[in-house]
Amino acid sequence: MSLALRIVIDVCIFVGAFFALAGTIGVIRMPDTYCRMQASTCIATMGVIGVAIGTLLYAICVEKNAAMAVKIGVVMAFVLFTNPISGHALCKGAYRRGLRPKRPMVIDDFKEDDPYDE
Amino acid sequence: MMTELLIFAIFFVFLALLLFMRMIKGPNAVDRALTADAIEILLTTALMLYAVYSGRSGYLDIALVVALLGFIGTVLIARYIGGRL
Amino acid sequence: MEGRTKSLKGHRIAAIVGTSAMCFAAWILFTWSTDPKELITGAVVAIVVGCFTGRMLVKDNAFYFFNPIHFFVLIYYWFVVLFSEIVKANWDVAKRVFKRDMGVNPGVIRVPTKRNTYYGLAFLANAITLTPGTITMATAESCGENGEEEVWLYIHWLDVKTTDREAAGEMIKGRLEKWIGRI
Which pLDDT does position C26 carry in this prediction? 82
Task: Kindly state the DSSP code that residue A105 receives in the 8-state scheme.
Answer: P
Judge if C78 and C59 occupy the same domain.
no
- Does the pLDDT at position C5 exceed 70? no
Q: Report the pLDDT value the prediction gives residue C137, as an integer from 0 to 100.
A: 80
In chain A, residues with a C-beta closer than 8 Å to the C-beta of C160 are 106-107
- 36-95 of A, contacting B, C-beta below 8 A: 36-37, 40, 43-44, 47-48, 51-52, 55, 58-59, 63, 65, 67-68, 71-72, 74-75, 78-79, 82-83, 85-86, 89-90, 92-94
* Structural domain span for residue A23: 3-104
Distance from the A95 Cα atom to the nearest Cα atom in chain C, whole angstroms: 9
pLDDT at C4: 47
Tell whether C82 and C19 lie within a shared domain: no
Chain A residue numbers with beta carbons less than 8 Å from the beta carbon of C136 are 88, 91
Average pLDDT over residues C55-71: 68
Has residue A111 been placed in a domain?
no
Tally Cβ neighbours within 10 Å of residue B62.
15
CB-based contact B44 A75, cutoff 8 Å: yes
The amino acid sitting at B1 is M
If asked whether residues C154 and C86 sit together in one domain, one would say yes
Same domain, C85 and C171: yes
Q: Is the CB of residue C158 less than 8 Å from the CB of residue C134?
A: yes
Which among A71, A107, A111 has the least Cβ separation from residue C163?
A107
Q: Among residues C42, C66, C90, which one ends one of the domains?
A: C66
Q: What confidence category does residue A118 fall into, taking pLDDT thresholds of 50, 70 and 90?
A: very low
Residue A118 belongs to some domain of the structure: no
* pLDDT lower than 70: segments of chain B: 1, 84-85
Q: Say if A99 falls within a structural domain.
A: yes
Which residues on B lie below 8 Å from A58 (Cβ)? 2, 5, 52
Q: How far is CA A59 from CA A13, B25, C74, C183, in A?
A: 13, 39, 26, 32
pLDDT of residue A108: 65
Ordered by start, the domain boundaries in chain B are 3-82
C43, C74: one domain: no
CB pairs under 8 A between A and B: 144
- Hey, is the C-beta of C162 within 8 angstroms of any chain A C-beta? no
C18 or A88: which leads in pLDDT:
A88
Cβ pairs A/C, distance under 8 A: 122
Residues A46-102 have pLDDT tens digits of 889 999 999 999 988 888 888 888 889 889 988 998 998 898 888 888 888 777 776
ipTM of the predicted structure? 0.87
Name which residue leads in pLDDT, C173 or B27: B27
Residue C181 burial (10 A CB sphere; 0-12, 13-18, 19+): exposed
- Say if CB A82 and CB C129 are below 8 A apart: no
- Does any domain span residue A82? yes
C18 and C105 together in one domain: no
Mark whether C108 and C142 lie in a shared domain.
Answer: yes
Same domain, C156 and C77: yes
| Residue range(s) defining the domain that contains residue C120 | 68-182
- The per-residue pLDDT for C59 is 60
User: Is there a single domain that holds both residue C76 and residue C24?
Assistant: no
Residue C125 predicted with pLDDT over 80: yes
The pLDDT > 90 percentage for chain C reads 1
Percentage of chain A surpassing pLDDT 70? 85
> Do C38 and C112 share a domain, yes or no?
no
C39 & C96 share domain: no
- Structural domain count of chain A: 1
Tell me: do C168 and C87 sit in the same domain.
Answer: yes
Considering only residues C54 and A17, tell me which one the structure prediction assigns the higher pLDDT: A17
Please indicate whether, in this complex, the C-beta atoms of C105 and A42 are within 8 angstroms of each other.
no
Cα C20 to Cα B51, C47, C50, C63, C168: the distances in Å are: 30, 5, 5, 12, 41
C7: Cα separation from own chain's centroid: 27
Task: Say whether pLDDT at A116 is over 60.
Answer: no
Is residue C67 within 8 angstroms of chain A, CB to CB? no
Say how many domains are in chain C.
2
